[in-house]
Structure 1
Amino acid sequence: MVLVSLFAALIAVLGLIPKIDLPLGVPITMQTLGVMLAGCILGPKRALQAVTLFLLAVALGLPLLSGGRGGMGVFFSPASGYLMGWPIGAFVTGLMMSAMSTATPRSSAISAFFASAIGGLLVVHVFGVVGLVNIANLTWAQAVTGTLVFVPGDLIKCALCAIVVHTVARGLPDWRFGD
C-alpha cells in the first residue's frame, strides 16, 4: 500500500513541472514518466493501483495534473483519452517488464526502455488517439498525426525511466522488477 501511494504521489509531483500547451488541446507533461516508472518498478498490479489512485484523486477535484488541473472536467477534455490510457499503460509496462530480463542492472535498464516504450508510449497513445477522435472530433488521420508530436519527448522519458531503473537495480540488487 505504501509503494502504491508513493507512486501516486510521484505522478502528482511530476505534475509540478510546468506543462507545455499545444494547439491540439493536450499538454506535454512529465507525468507520463511517472506512469512508466510505476509499471517498471512496481509491476502490473501495483502500477495499475497507483495510477488509478492518482486519477481518483484528480476526479475528486484535487489539482494534481500539470498546470493545476483537476476535477471531472479533465475527463471530458481532449486529453481524456491519454488519462484513461495511463492505468492500462502502467499495467502493460509492468507486464512487459516482468516478461523481460532483469538479471543485471544493464538488462533491467534495456528492459525498462522497451517496456515503457510499449506500455507508456504506444498503449497510452492509442488511448489518446481514440480520445482525440471522440472528444476533439478529429479524424483518425488528424489524431494520429497530432499525437506524433509527443513521441520524441516520450522516447526521452523512456530513456529517463531506463536510467532510474538502472540506478534502482544497482542500489537494490534484490528488487524484483515487474512483480
Structure 2
Amino acid sequence: MTANTLSKTKHNDPFMSVKDMALTAMFAVLIVVCSWISIPMAVPFTMQTFAIFCAVFMLGGKRGFFAVLVYIMLGAVGIPVFSGFKGGIGVLFGATGGYILGFLILPVIYLLAEKFISENIIVSVISMIVGLAVCYAFGTIWFVKVYTDSSGSMGILKALKLCVIPFVFWDILKLGLAVALSEAVKKRIRL
C-alpha cells in the first residue's frame, strides 16, 4: 500500500474517534481534579466519585470506562492523581487500592445495562447504584486482605464501618447531583 492509498482508506467504525479520545482525556482530568477536592467532614471525602458518575453518565459506558482507566493508569505510573495528591503503584496495591480499581466496575455495569436492558435514566441510575455496591464490595474485600496481611486481623463488618458506611450517603448524593448535571448538559451539548 502506498501512502496515497492509506490516506484514502476510510475507517467507518473506528474504535475511538478523535472526539472520543479528547472527551475521554477531558473527563480523566476532571476525575483527577475532583480527586484532589476534599470536603472536610467528620470523615472527609472527595468529589472523585462525582466525576466518575459524570464521566459515565455523559460519555456512556465505553468512553466512561476509558476515562476511569486513563485516570488509574496515570496514578499507577506515579503521577499524583489520587486523593491527597498521591500516586504510584503502591497506592493501587495498598489498603484502599481496591476501591480505586473498583471504579472500573461502574462503567462496565452501566455499559451492560445500556446494551442489554435499556438506555433510560432509571436503568442508568440503578446500574450505577449496583456498580457502586460492587465497587464497595470489591474494595472492602481488598482492604480486609491487605490490612490483615500487614496489620493483623480485621473482619468485613469492621471494614464496612470504616470504609463504606461513612461514604454511602455522600456517594448517593453525588450520584444524584451527577444525574442532574449530566441530564442538563446532554440537553444542551451533544457529547
2:24/2:66 contact within 8 Å kept? yes
The equivalent residue for 1:61 is 78
The equivalent residue for 2:175 is 158
Whether 1:142 aligns to 2:154 is no
Quick one: percent identity of the two aligned structures? 30
- Write the mapping of 1:96-111 to structure 2, written as runs, cut at 5 A: 96-97=113-114, 99-102=117-120, 108=121, 110-111=122-123
Amino acid at match of 1:71: G
Whether 1:51 aligns to 2:63 is no
Select which of 36, 58, 61 maps to 2:53.
Answer: 36
- Write the mapping of 1:110-129 to structure 2, written as runs, cut at 5 A: 110-119=122-131, 121-129=132-140
Looking at structure 2, the residues matched to 19 and 58 of structure 1 have their Cα atoms a distance apart, in angstroms, of 21
Per-residue Cα deviation, 1:81-118 (whole angstroms, up to 9, x for no partner):
1011011222213333454343xxxxx3x454333222
Per-residue Cα deviation, 1:1-56 (whole angstroms, up to 9, x for no partner):
11111111110111231265988xxx622111122222222222222211111111
Select which of 75, 79, 92 maps to 2:109.
Answer: 92
Q: Which has the higher contact order (CA 8 A, sep 6+)?
A: 1
Amino acid at match of 1:144: L
Could you say what the CA RMSD is over the residues aligned between the two structures, in angstroms? 2.3
Secondary structure at the aligned position of 1:149 is classed as helix
Looking at structure 2, the residues matched to 127 and 86 of structure 1 have their Cα atoms a distance apart, in angstroms, of 10
The equivalent residue for 1:16 is 36
Rg (Cα) greater in structure = 2
Change (3 A) 1:161 1:96: farther
Amino acid at match of 1:46: R
TM-score of the two chains, using structure 1 as the length reference: 0.80
TM-score of the two chains, using structure 2 as the length reference: 0.75
Looking at structure 2, the residues matched to 28 and 97 of structure 1 have their Cα atoms a distance apart, in angstroms, of 29
Stretches of structure 2 lacking an aligned partner (at least 5 in a row): 1-20, 149-153
Secondary structure at the aligned position of 1:91 is classed as helix
Looking at structure 1, the residues matched to 136 and 87 of structure 2 have their Cα atoms a distance apart, in angstroms, of 21
Change (3 A) 1:96 1:157: farther
Secondary structure at the aligned position of 2:84 is classed as coil
